[in-house]
Amino acid sequence: MSDFFYRCAPEPCAPTTAPNLQPRALYEALADRVRERILAHELRPGEPISETALMHEYGVSRTPVRETLKLLHHEGLLTARPRRGMSVRILGTQEREEAMRLHRLLQTHASAHGVAFGAQPCQSLLGRILGMTELHLRLAYGPAFEGMLQKAQGQQGR
């Protein structure tokens, strides 16, 4: 990446000493649980997601379920189907390959430049992008992604 990118990145906010007094939104906690199930392939790619089933399973009303589904759709984990609701996103071969290439590229860049995440303003952005590529790879490969990641890291160490 060019020096321009690093010079133009916003400075991180200074940490505050005041405790965070805001309670976590219900839909965020619910999104964490549903996300975990999707990434573990408990909810399989292509599987429809029922608002009603989630409401009953987690004992919550329709509003937090809808907010959860919107969030997971925004993250790219769900696909909206007109008049049919949401389903777990299916990543095609090309999307999986692109996500894997991008993930490797970012990891290589980070390690080649001795990047310590959080050390520079840009590293927060790099970390978020790496996190999103990893999220999509976990969606595509499920629990098998851990083995793929370990194998790739072992090959880089040679």
**Three-class secondary structure of residue 94 per DSSP:** helix
pTM of the model: 0.64
- At 71 the pLDDT is 95
- At 14 the pLDDT is 46
Alpha carbon distance 139, 43 (integer Å): 10
- The residue ranges of the chain whose pLDDT is under 50 are 1-15
First to last CA, the chain: 25
Q: Quote the strand ranges of the chain, DSSP E.
A: 48-49, 78-81, 85-88
Alpha carbon distance 7, 120 (integer Å): 10
